[in-house]
Amino acid sequence: MSALKTVAIVGAGLVGSGWALVFARAGAAVRVYDADASLRARAPARIRQMLQDMQGAGLIADVEAPLSRITICDTLPEAVGAADYIQESVLERVDVKTAVCTEIDAAMRADAICGSSSSGIPASAFTEGLAKRNRFLVAHPVNPPHLVPLVELVPAPWTDAGILPQLRQAMEGWGQAPIVVNAEIEGFILNRLQGALLNEAWALYEAGLASAKDIDLTVSKGLGLRWAFMGPFETIDLNAPGGIADYSARLAPLYHNIAVSRANPQPWSQKAISSAETERRETLPADKLQERTDWRNRRLMALVAHLRAQPE
């Protein structure tokens, strides 16, 4: 078990609740706070249901043990004061994160660590004025974090360098798959990779080259099957007899030509967004979005259970 044994969650929405499961299932004592009293009141039932879903998928053996390690707190200092590690998961806005991290800074111990679930805002944007700013960094998960283990650890320029190996080891102990981003960059690693694919998908769609459904199928029935267990470098290493060098000799010019053809990227147009929205709502009515999200999570659980059962 990690030396970071008591964890505070600040922000009990979908991401914060998922984080609570990550830490509690690994044996940590978890203290959860949200400024919204109604969200705090709903959190135990939501977390119990999420644990029951995981149990049904064979991902955990017991619901009550991890649930017993989660405490809902009525104030931020109550949650944060005793914590070795704090996971901030509030709204993705600089002003909101600045205000909340200022409260955390005042309540946390001098030796505690605070990771932000920020998806793209660097920690330097909301921690510069904090007294303990050297204890803050980004710890960006993939949603939902209790099913998708990747965590991006991104330090601010002033983050204590000793935090990174400590938190990386702790995240691995909690069952996550942390990576270290060596310097702040907009979008970090995951969203820059995802953004490259999204931008090309939108460009192809707006050009009328394929429907949104068919572009989705290209990933779900093609690229995504390999990407479920391999990254892009290993993929190309195995896609030519001589490995990466051989693949590059064969296909690097093609990819360069594709990149050059997108040398003047355009914002996603409102016309294309409206068209894709219409196409998606014909397939999935708006009132079925939550139902389909639940379906996605069940599929993720089944995939995680399958991957766990396979040899490395």
The rounded mean pLDDT for the chain is 96
Q: How many CA atoms lie within 13 A of 112 on its CB side?
A: 24
Residue type at 192? Answer: R
At residue 259, the pLDDT reads 92
Are the C-beta atoms of 18 and 146 separated by less than 8 Å? yes
pLDDT band per the 50, 70, 90 thresholds, residue 122: very high
Q: What is the pLDDT of residues 159-183, one digit of tens each?
A: 999 999 999 999 999 999 999 999 9
Cβ neighbours of residue 101 closer than 8 Å, sequence gap 6 or more: 88, 114, 116, 126, 127, 130, 136
3-state secondary structure of 121: coil
Q: How far apart are CA 273 and CA 285, in angstroms?
A: 16
Q: Is the pLDDT of residue 47 over 80?
A: yes
- The predicted model scores a pTM of 0.92
Give Rg (Cα) of the chain.
21
Q: What is the pLDDT of residues 221-254, one digit of tens each?
A: 999 999 999 999 999 999 999 999 999 999 999 9
Q: What is the pLDDT of residues 265-307, one digit of tens each?
A: 899 999 999 999 999 999 999 999 999 999 999 999 999 999 9
Strand 150-155 and strand 136-141: the pairing is: antiparallel
- Report the pLDDT averaged over residues 195-220: 97
Q: Is the pLDDT of residue 1 over 60?
A: no
Q: What is the pLDDT of residues 49-80, one digit of tens each?
A: 999 999 999 999 999 999 999 999 999 999 99
Per-residue burial over 114-140, b = 16 or more CB atoms within 10 Å of its CB, e = otherwise:
bbbbbbbbbbbebbeebebbbbbbbbb
| Residue-level length of the chain | 312
Domains observed in the chain: 6-180 (3.40.50.720), 190-309 (1.10.1040.10)
3-state secondary structure of 257: helix
At residue 74, the pLDDT reads 97
3-state secondary structure of 44: helix
Lookup: tokens for 159: 């983050």
